[in-house]
Amino acid sequence: MSSAHKPMLYPKITQHVAQVVKALKKLEREGEALDEYYTSNPIPLVGYVKLHGTHADIVVYNDNRIILQSRNVSNITPTNDNSGFAAAMADKTEAILDVRDQYIERWKALNPSMVLEPQHPVIIAGQWIGTGIQKDVAVSRLSCRGKWALGKTE
């Protein structure tokens, strides 16, 4: 008997750093060669505070179309949005396009020898946080707001 499977555009990201370190230390103790490039020097890791909200993407196409999406919904609108994200973004078109343009200019400055393919949208991914989005976390006491990192699809 098969169970119902809810499709996800983006699955949860899990971290297994402790398990990787443990496995590497075990291999090192047992004297097994990992490969010629293996080093036992520390690997610097940068951590960030997890905002317990709901994942929210702003997808901006070359023709200035803007699509909002979550991990499970590919086109969020005010009628299918349970967290108020679509309603909050409804009057932000100019600001969203400006952020997209700034990102593209910065990308071009950092990658002068690469070509940016216009058929691929810019995805601004982040967390939508605030009142009523998650229970029993501090950010749920804030007014609704977003925090996004910028990314370009390949």
Q: What is the DSSP track for 27-52?
A: HHHTT----TT---S-------PPP-
Written as tens digits, the pLDDT of the chain (154 aa) is: 444 445 455 455 556 677 777 877 777 777 665 555 555 667 666 666 667 778 889 999 999 999 999 888 889 999 998 788 899 899 999 999 999 999 899 989 999 999 989 899 999 888 887 777 777 766 666 666 666 554 444 4
Q: How far apart are CA 14 and CA 151, in angstroms?
A: 19
Order of strands, edge to edge, in the sheet holding 145-152? 66-69, 54-60, 122-129, 145-152
At the topology level, CATH places domain 54-152 in D-amino Acid Aminotransferase; Chain A, domain 1 (3.30.470)
Domain ranges of the chain: 54-152
Q: Model-level pTM?
A: 0.62
